[in-house]
Structure 1
């Protein structure tokens, strides 16, 4: 009994009723959108932002201006007619998004998707969804999604906007810098056995610099920073700035006792 109580305090409690929020990679994959109105336009943009291959099935007369624009610009493939069951026979379809003002037709498409094991989302019908679209904040590689599990989409948007106001300035740029540094590090230390060391050092790097410092880091700074990887150390941003144009640390002249050599201001 005592051990059980200790474990209850040690481990997180299960909170049922949620969704498994994941970053679904759909780059280069085919997504079928049924409908061409305002809701479909939002779904289409989300898919294009994820580099998916989007096919829209809808009579041309029912396309809203945004969807019509994307058709004209050849950003999406358009099939000018109503949905037909045979449209799901394409084995390349990875996902179906339905956004039409016809509950009976939507349910029919949902059932067909279930038969073919194709993940589907039926707009505004939570019970007929394998997944939900949340309210997303986007800043470059940074994506933050707020989901109410289909119970309050408008509230999700309000919460998302509030969170966005609390984020550090240029957070996306800082993340881009970290991404480039990780690529350089993996090129320098490609051995899978180095994985734990790479991850540990990158954690130290992320903790060492402010957002502004990370955003201002140049390729030269990153290359100089990587010189510290073998020792597992992370220099201050002032050290990296002092190394610009003069990477020979023995020639720099302001002491930083944490690294055991002289560096310039």
Structure 2
């Protein structure tokens, strides 16, 4: 019999949004796989150090170095490269060297990803769809990266074209709401009210919402009402809200 709670399905990964802003990430290697890893961590605002002999750099990695988007050391990996590093990504065609790097990272408790060697990975890279603040990752837990890419494309094709822009606007509204209702005990009400906005407003209306519309909409937070965008704009004929719910 099934229990009242979700059944445990072992063998998965804990999928997280890892915040690496301003963290030091070491990338060992300069080929195509390294290029993809570099883009991933630069998009997350990490500080990247690439270690690889110059003759092994592909055009994209060489471009990142030339544009000073990453720091660079022109040689093979040395153990001292791990000093002060928060994360290590290796992408070299040398299994023995990769294993040695992983062992050193393990000793120093530095999380590492060894490309194409799942048993020597503390975390995996999935196939990611990006649209502004929206990120969707599909992981096969190292079983089939190509299949992850196929699934990711299918998911992306089913999303509305304006979903990223709508999320951006909701983020702005949410930050404004925290200024209106900053107290910790208001957290549940804030979340409930924001949920109602997301559920009741069409994506097009969310995208069309201006800063002025947001200020008026926030006037409905205290009475816990969710007007439509049309109602919001009828409340601001002169660009300022004069209705009964002004905070």
* TM-score range normalised by the length of the shorter chain: over 0.9
Q: Matches of 2:160 and 2:135 in 1, distance apart? A: 14
User: Which structure is larger by alpha-carbon Rg, 1 or 2?
Assistant: 1
1:183 aligns with 2:178: no
How many residue pairs match? The answer is 243
Shift of residue 245, structure 1, vs aligned partner: 3.1
1:18 aligns with 2:12: yes
Aligned pair partner of 2:81 in 68, 73, 87: 87
1:69 aligned residue: 63
Contact 1:169 1:211 in 2 (8 A): no
Q: What SS does structure 2 have at the residue aligned with 1:93?
A: coil
Aligned pair partner of 1:238 in 214, 226, 230: 230
1:262 aligned residue: none
Q: What SS does structure 1 have at the residue aligned with 2:93?
A: coil
CA RMSD in angstroms comes to: 1.3
1:161 aligns with 2:153: yes
Contact 1:37 1:62 in 2 (8 A): yes
1:39 aligned residue: 33
2:242 aligned residue: 248
TM superposition score normalised by structure 2: 0.95
- Unpaired segments of 5 or more residues in structure 1? 251-258, 260-265
- Unpaired segments of 5 or more residues in structure 2? none
Provide, for residues 212-251 of structure 1, a one-character-per-residue CA deviation record: whole Å limited to 9, x for no partner. Answer: 111111111111100000101111122013234343348x
Provide, for residues 192-215 of structure 1, a one-character-per-residue CA deviation record: whole Å limited to 9, x for no partner. Answer: 121111111111111111111111
Contact 1:32 1:93 in 2 (8 A): yes
Q: Matches of 1:47 and 1:169 in 2, distance apart? A: 25
Q: Matches of 2:120 and 2:242 in 1, distance apart? A: 63
2:142 aligned residue: 150
Q: Matches of 2:229 and 2:7 in 1, distance apart? A: 40
1:96 aligned residue: 88
1:206 aligned residue: 198
Q: Matches of 1:243 and 1:167 in 2, distance apart? A: 32
Contact 2:26 2:50 in 1 (8 A): yes
Contact 2:236 2:242 in 1 (8 A): no
Q: What SS does structure 2 have at the residue aligned with 1:10?
A: coil
